[in-house]
């Protein structure tokens, strides 16, 4: 798939050319790699956000389970001894 970008500041293009030259690659290759890294970072960030939401949800469920277990223990008179 091709991408065409117009109206880019000449100084920005010069900087990209300089960075590409320092790496011994073409401007096109430099920009291709940057676009791929940006897309990869975005996908990874999305995964991290989903995992963080899952962990938060699991913690809430675990807290509710612990509360329910304490309530049940209190009802049947089976409170655990405090640990020292």
Single pTM value for the model: 0.57
Measured at the CA of 2, the angle between CA 13 and CA 8, to 5 degrees, comes to 25
CA-wise closest residue to 15 among 27, 33, 2, 32: 27
Rounded CA-CA distance 19/35 in Å is 15
User: Max Cα separation, the chain?
Assistant: 78
pLDDT in tens, 62-82: 999 999 999 998 888 866 666
What are the sequence ranges of the domains in the chain? 32-72
pLDDT in tens, 41-65: 999 999 999 999 999 999 999 999 9
What DSSP character marks residue 34?
Answer: H
HSE-CB of 25 using CA atoms within 13 angstroms: 12
């Amino acid at each position: 798939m091709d991408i065409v970008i117009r109206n880019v500041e000449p100084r920005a293009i010069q900087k990209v050319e300089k960075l590409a030259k320092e790496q011994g690659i073409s401007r096109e290759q430099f920009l291709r790699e940057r676009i791929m890294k940006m897309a990869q970072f975005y996908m990874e960030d999305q995964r991290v956000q989903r995992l963080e939401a899952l962990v938060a949800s699991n913690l809430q469920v675990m807290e509710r389970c612990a509360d329910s277990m304490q309530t049940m223990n209190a009802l049947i008179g089976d409170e655990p001894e405090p640990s020292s």
